[in-house]
Structure 1
Amino acid sequence: MANKIQKSDLNKMFWRSQLIQFSHNYERLQSLSTLYALTPVLKRLYQDRPEEERINAQKRHLEFFNSHPVLIPFILGITAALEETTEEDEKDSVIAVKTSMMGPLAGLGDSLLNFTWYPIAGSIGASFAVEGNFIGPILMFLLINFLYFPLKYYGIHLGYSKGKELLSSNNGKKILDRITTSANVLGVMVAGALITSTVGVKLGISFGKGDGKVMIQDMLDQVLPNMLPLLLTLLCLYFIKKWNGKHVVAIIFALIGIAIVLSYFKILV
């Protein structure tokens, strides 16, 4: 592409990234707001391109996306660099890198920011507030954004510059493939941990009575712990992929109905 991204475009993207949390939908979560943030960059890159390419550029960034709002600017910076340096037939790699980073950075942001810095800032502000000092909530707000704003601003510029350096180096594509693979592996690990911690399926079926009573769930746990949550997750994934995500709500209500019926008959506990 002949057009080059300007610093002003990255700054516009920074200010727009402040509104990431203002536009959510339950189908694709932050996709619309991330497209809004990327719009100055896409306008710059596609201002002299055919209308069809401009439309396709917007459509590909409307796919499902969800990550930590403070670390999203870093992803946007790398995405901007990829958009600038790839041809139209290579744009699948842009979305692949963008989506591969959202899970790991979401986990990193939650652990370091939401569960560490946010409580620290809140406790400092609360210590003033409980004494009746009005500076408490103001201090909390300032402490949070004292860290969040630089992370967002430098995240965009660092992501863009490092993304360009990576892609311009001789081994750039190999390194990029390694990063993508590592991010995918970490994403799978996080997904596996979420399955065991959030999906609860426990059988209440047993054989025998008294001391000879045998619980089917105990037998399954000895063979493969959390086997039923895993099977249920894979089954849901199968139907979601089969129907291209069109009947997610129906799947949710079906699971709720089946769970109620099975619990009533003591099959599930």
Structure 2
Amino acid sequence: MYNPTVARLTYRGLLGRRRAAILFVLPVLLLLLAGAIRAFNGPDDQIAADVLGGFALATMVPLIGVIAGTGAIGPEIDDGSIVYLLAKPVKRPTIITTKLIVAIAVTMVFSAVPTFLAGMILNGNGQQVAVAYTVAALVASIAYSAVFLLLGTVSRHAVVIGLVYALVWESLFGSLIEGARTLSVQQWALAVAEKVTRGEGLISSDVGLPVAVSLLVGVTAAATWFAGQKLRTLTLAGEE
């Protein structure tokens, strides 16, 4: 279910000059913010948790997921170049799975790695905060990539829809409306992070760990399956 040629083409598209520059912006901002806070306030576990939760997990990870997830397939569908890929003797579910793996890898590298580095800068991983949010970023990267890859296959406005979800639903409604939190990838990831810190009180989620893990797995699997089904419905010129 993995094709090296499809992966290479997807990496090339995602890490082109313009998109790569966008991917680097938020991680650099996070590291600069972490450095400035450490310089002015010194190591503080609560501040570290607030910065990593409020900026890294709530903003940076979903936005990078939007860029990587939709960018893995959306541009090819929009400009019609996907037909050249579909004409190759590669199964369409394999195309989706390969692109998802690439999107996950890119999202993890550009979100989980800077999250860990920022955590180490802020408080040297005191109370396991850096590790907890790194793990949260890793699991969130998987779900976000699958969801936004699906959006890239079903809508020409996938980036806009993804940004609305990331900035409005996750950051605004997910933090203000109690019922919306259950349907938030951020909250599911926070449940995992809370477990890593062993309930020290610095990280908390409104979703229990068993429910969070079930939703993370279920949403990722469902989004991947639906994306594969959508790609199956795309027909090449001359196909019956």
TM-score, length of structure 2 as denominator length: 0.33
TM-score, length-scaled by structure 1: 0.31
Higher RCO, Cα 8 Å, sep 6+: 2
Structure with higher helix content: 2
Structure whose CA Rg is larger: 1
